[in-house]
Structure 1
Amino acid sequence: MRIIVYGSLRRKQGNSHWMTNAQWLGDMQIEGYALYSLGHYPGVIPGEGTVYCEVYRIDATTLGELDALRTKAGEYKRQLMQTPYGSAWLYVYQRPVKGRQRIASGDWLRRDDPPSDA
């Protein structure tokens, strides 16, 4: 099975250790989603925009661990999406984003970059 990660689970990020047993398949962009900062990690919701992601092959144990981390309090819900690497799970944020900072670049790795004037 495969998973799409867009924030703290990406390479060299704070929660990347959860992906130790995962196989990186490649980078991609998902259209029709907006990325928001939730503090130390982000959330995506359906909306206008592009979000930069990584796709991994994972085993059932890793998926179970990620579900416990992401879905236990109803914060995220898994959604199956098509990717260039086959279908993959995406964790979609389920709570209101009012008052949260939208990351206009759609890239968690560039969240601290100043907004573009373009």
Structure 2
Amino acid sequence: MPSPAIAIERTPLVAVYGTLKRGLRNHHWLEGADFVGTDRLTDATLYDLGPYPGARLEPSRGVEIEVFRVDAALLADLDRLEDYRVRHPASGTYDRVVHPTAFGPAWLYLYNLDVAGCLAIREGGWGPRARRSVV
């Protein structure tokens, strides 16, 4: 597995869809990152896990993401926050994959655990003020 320093060479961008978004409780983790813009992913579905969401690669009508430019140290911090395990990605809470966005390829954290019984968000976003369509 590549180290975060090597991985960041593949893309310096990260796409976020939950508590890391601007105005939400974990956005402070992205202090020092440059906001690039917003996008909608039609091949990702969010699941409302209560205090935070998880994404799965499943068709949707467009879930909202924010894209940030990060460095290797910040990406490593996000890996710890998301319980991404570089050597054993399937054993952590999230896996991290490169995913296309309107701004180029970006890291996207995908939820590894069971989503049975969780509300699927297939359009819009997650959060206290989110306008979303749940199907």
Q: For residues 10 and 115 of structure 1, what CA distance do their matches in structure 2 show?
A: 19
1:58 maps to 70
Q: Which has the higher strand share?
A: 1
1:44 maps to 55
Please give the root-mean-square deviation of Cα atoms over the aligned residues, in Å.
2.0
1:96 maps to 2:114: yes
CA contact (8 A) 2:95 2:112 kept: yes
Give the 3-state SS of the residue equivalent to 1:32 in structure 2: coil
* Aligned residue identity for 2:26: N
* Residue-pair matches, total: 116
1:78 maps to 96
1:35 maps to 46
Q: For residues 129 and 57 of structure 2, what CA distance do their matches in structure 1 show?
A: 19
Under a length normalisation based on structure 2, what TM-score does the superposition of the two structures give?
Answer: 0.77
Structure 1: 5+ residue stretches without partners: none
CA contact (8 A) 2:124 2:133 kept: no
1:25 maps to 2:40: no
1:7 maps to 2:25: no
* Aligned residue identity for 2:115: V
* Structure 1 segments of 4+ aligned residues over 3 angstroms from their partners: 109-116
Identity percentage of aligned residues? 37
